[in-house]
Amino acid sequence: MATATAIPVITITRVLNASRERVFAAWTDPTLMNQWFAPSSVFDVTFDVAIETGTHLGCSYKLQMFNRKAGTTHTAVGKYIEFVPPEKLVFTWDRHIGACNQDTDPAEDTIVSVELRDLGGKTELTLTHALVSDAASRASHTQGWTGCINRLARLFDPNAEQLPVPGPRPAWQVE
């Protein structure tokens, strides 16, 4: 009899001082994403043209961050596989560093789910990143997502408490 193997996941839950609609927009509007997603770096967000016309499932996105300190470009690409405004986003996530790794292998995609629960003027955000297979990558992604969610909280409330970023100070974090 085969035994089931647990799927490795990262889960971060945070209450944000904003409506679900505002939080959902922060994840889907490139102008808003530029304000919180990447730490103090040049940042570019592009979405498949179909998103602009209201079609989302299967549409692709590309997030590019430039780390001035390290001189590297970090790129994440993927496709939306669930899009339920203003409640839920599910998308594949394939991260690459540097210009030489721009082609993606769908078999290596991980899955990110962003669920938003209305708390009457505030929103509980639960981010789950599944299928991150190795411990080092899970630690790096946990640091990255924690930093992102901290910056998202500050987008809505400049005095928002910051969640501690686990582990040593990440190399990508700009001082």
Single pTM value for the model: 0.81
> 9 Cβ partners below 8 Å, 6+ apart?
128, 129, 130, 131, 132
Average pLDDT of the chain is 80
Mean pLDDT of 12-41: 90
Quick check: 90 and 82 in contact, CB under 8 A? yes
* Residue 1 or 30, more confident: 30
% of the chain beyond a pLDDT of 90: 34
Over 50: is that where the pLDDT of 100 sits?
no
Over 70: is that where the pLDDT of 98 sits?
no
Mean pLDDT of 56-68: 78
The CATH T-level fold of domain 9-156 is Alpha-D-Glucose-1,6-Bisphosphate; Chain A, domain 4 (3.30.530)
> 153 Cβ partners below 8 Å, 6+ apart?
14, 16, 17, 160, 161, 162
Mean pLDDT of 49-64: 68
Domain ranges of the chain: 9-156
CA distance 40 to 32: 14
Q: Which residue has the tokens 């203003």?
A: 86
